[in-house]
Structure 1
């Protein structure tokens, strides 16, 4: 028995029945739930909130970037119950790490971002 491919030529299901005219004026009112209400301000960069990205202060990376140069104490959870802390100046913040200049030795240490549990800032 042979299998035959039968193409589907009925395009009424995937194309609108009414053609959109690009030269048509934009309506002054928007109909919602059967009632007319005026259109709100157009969507522009100044009327819409900023997109939330990894550089935004809503994420820890973005917040820590605002604290570069501050004295910090960062506590890390190692394993299931061991807390290790590092104290020094916050130098940089990457996607998955931070760097701290340690106060005791002056050495720069890179720290894993995903084991950070607490960060204290000292002014």
Structure 2
């Protein structure tokens, strides 16, 4: 990998990190139960991923910028695993199961929504 590719990834990751911090600090949703900000970030990242997959970019620069840089820094898979682990340590297995299903199911739905909206137009 050359310096130019690394610079593109760094630019994308900077914007991904900025959006992640913005969402985590400004969005809390309560629809009968609280949705954690990390979960919202995962939903947004899944939606963007669906859009990018539908657009089917071939250019390596765009792939590095958006997939590796932006979405790699925006998505919070490690935070999701940490949340599951914390629930496991607290022996809250019911919450662990439903949080896992919630994030996986809705992340897929947001991915599909982004993909479908692009394919629709």
TM-score (norm 1): 0.21
**By percentage of residues, which structure has more helix?**
2
Which of 1 and 2 has greater Rg? 1
Greater relative CO, 1 or 2 (CA 8 Å, sep 6+):
2
